[in-house]
Structure 1
Amino acid sequence: MTVHKRGDKDYKSSEFVIALARGFEVLRCFDAKQRDLTTMDIAKATGLPQSTVWRLCNTLVELGCLVRHPDSDRLSIGLGLLGFGYSALPSPDLGELATIEMKRLADEFHAGVSLCIPDKLDMLIVKRVRGNEGLLSGGAVGTRVPMARSAAGWAYLATLPAADLAELSGKLEQQAGDKWIEVRGIIEDEFRRYKEKGFLVNAGVYRPEINYVSVPIIVDANVYTLHCSALASVLPPSKLKDEVGPRLVALAARMRPGLARNDEIY
């Protein structure tokens, strides 16, 4: 029987998948002190051949578990890992101050305020607060919304380089289906709004009865999105553009340092 070793542990099983184990070996190289590494660093730490590490890292990047730093050969843990493990966290805490500010905004506009991360072609809600007097609108924590049709997705897409966006366009078209031609035009308009105002509006595109406004929060190589949603009768487009959008931009700016420290998320 083959014995597979990691550190001081031996794994004796005919069902042990070496490639999967090696992927976890790569991920375990990253910690609070080693937040970004090169493939050479990883090969040295794991004892794996450089070519094997390269293939593993490329796969993990495709899955969103690792992200490449712009203009660099360094890698960091990606938000995709949060999507895999989030359901195991019974009570995620974004940090008291950020939660209070999200709740204050939700109460003022009788809305819901959510923090999302990209997960393949969806946006995953990882934190949500609801206004006291607001009707239930939007999804709960753990809900995924389609990137092509949601304000959260548009906010993420607005941060991508043109080449990455072009590469995704075929998949987004497939996700949006027959509505893609209409949706694509709206997305382009909202990208222009984002460049000018810092936020994007989704008025009834994802759900006809609900309006959304969203803002991206760029933290190193990762992107979060913060969005506010409510019934269209409560938050008409004019109010989203004139009042909620600017407030959300300001809130995102205040939340960014905590997200960058990575100690305000849980």
Structure 2
Amino acid sequence: MKRPPKKAATDRSFVVALSRGLEVLRAFGPNDGLLGNQEIAARTKLPKPTISRLTYTLTKLGYLTPVPRFEKYQLAPAAMSLGYAALANLGVRHLSQSFRDELMQETGGAVAVGARDRLSMIYVGQARSSLTVGVQLDVGSRIPIATTAMGRAYLSALQGEERAALLRDMREYYGSRWPRIKDGIERSDEMVARYGFTISAGEWQDDVHAAGVALTMNDGTGPYAFNCGAPAFRFTEERLINDIGPRLLAMVRKIEAALGGTAAPLSRRTDKSENKKTKSGGKVARVVEGIR
């Protein structure tokens, strides 16, 4: 969830109680079964008495199911239906499915589409095969914006104050790690400007390499971002630059045409006359990514 443009204390239109109730629901992650009031309080940083009132209310409304034996709660079907309804209304998810499946078959990589959730990208669609056993992500999985190909591609599509605000939030969150992360983001911006896509080679997880491309919709939604990733031994940096990245960009171009969105322009590197020059791209990739 994006932060409101004004502080809650000064924004008379901001409903604090509603915000806190939604924070309780957000406390439940994809791998969480049951959570107690104390665990929810720790995750939301709200007082436990407040959490007790909120979980009681959400239970009465049917969004939480109490489990008295353990004095804990789990998400009820009414809460989960909100997520399913959101997914069902994401046209980009449904329309891109056949394209993602096709690219997955062609490359052997996992191909996903994601949208922003605070400092993370959340997977809203995923195509995966047995060849991508090292990439254990599915719909609902979260990955960081700052160090992943999908996240950096998304960031490259933001403009003005929206981008500046996200960068400020990341700087505050990462603290002493920010200078190094910022360098990676700047390299990715340069890469998007040059090639139309970016890559992350072991910057999020040592054994995962991926390429990323953003898609901005003309209806004002998004941006969204796509990635194609695999274990590092399958997707070398050279292959990301010379094969996976251009294929992913071409795929997003097709989706753009179908949805009426705007993808990054095809770069000169995808032109056949230039392809021969990129066969020695291993060194180029290392320079672009700051790896020497």
Report the TM-score when normalising by structure 1: 0.61
- Residue from 96, 116, 119 that aligns with 1:118: 116
Q: Does the C-alpha gap of structure 1 residues 116 and 84 become closer, same or farther in structure 2, counting only changes over 3 Å?
A: farther
Q: 2:100 aligned with 1:135, yes or no?
A: no
Residue deviations 1:184-239 (CA, integer Å, cap 9, x gap):
11111110110111101011111111011100011122211010111001101110
What is aligned with 2:174? Answer: 176
- Counterparts of 1:177 and 1:131 in 2: how far apart (Å)? 37
Is contact 2:134-2:208 (8 Å) kept? no
Is contact 1:108-1:131 (8 Å) kept? no
- Counterparts of 1:224 and 1:144 in 2: how far apart (Å)? 14
Aligned AA for 2:82? G
Structure 2, gaps ≥5 residues long: 1-12, 19-79, 262-292
1:131 to partner: Cα distance: 2.8
Q: 2:236 aligned with 1:236, yes or no?
A: yes
Q: Does the C-alpha gap of structure 1 residues 217 and 84 become closer, same or farther in structure 2, counting only changes over 3 Å?
A: farther
- Aligned identity (percent) is 23
Is contact 2:147-2:184 (8 Å) kept? no
Paired residue secondary structure (2:214): strand
- Residue from 189, 201, 204 that aligns with 2:202: 204
Paired residue secondary structure (2:256): helix
- Counterparts of 1:163 and 1:259 in 2: how far apart (Å)? 26
What is aligned with 1:109? Answer: 107
- Counterparts of 1:228 and 1:114 in 2: how far apart (Å)? 7
What is aligned with 1:78? Answer: none
Paired residue secondary structure (1:158): helix
Q: Does the C-alpha gap of structure 1 residues 215 and 90 become closer, same or farther in structure 2, counting only changes over 3 Å?
A: closer
Which 4+ runs in 1 deviate beyond 4 A? 87-93
Number of equivalenced pairs: 182
Q: Does the C-alpha gap of structure 1 residues 176 and 241 become closer, same or farther in structure 2, counting only changes over 3 Å?
A: farther
Report the TM-score when normalising by structure 2: 0.56
Q: 2:219 aligned with 1:248, yes or no?
A: no
Is contact 1:111-1:135 (8 Å) kept? no
Paired residue secondary structure (2:199): strand
Residue deviations 1:155-174 (CA, integer Å, cap 9, x gap):
11101224432332231123
What is aligned with 1:223? Answer: 223
1:123 to partner: Cα distance: 0.8
1:90 to partner: Cα distance: 8.6
Is contact 1:112-1:138 (8 Å) kept? no
The alignment yields a C-alpha RMSD, in angstroms, of 2.9
Q: Does the C-alpha gap of structure 1 residues 84 and 164 become closer, same or farther in structure 2, counting only changes over 3 Å?
A: farther
Q: Name the structure with the higher helix share.
A: 2
After TM superposition, the structure 1 stretch with the greater mean CA deviation from structure 2, 250-259 or 111-120, is: 250-259
Residue deviations 1:103-135 (CA, integer Å, cap 9, x gap):
221122221000001122211100000134332
- Counterparts of 2:118 and 2:84 in 1: how far apart (Å)? 17
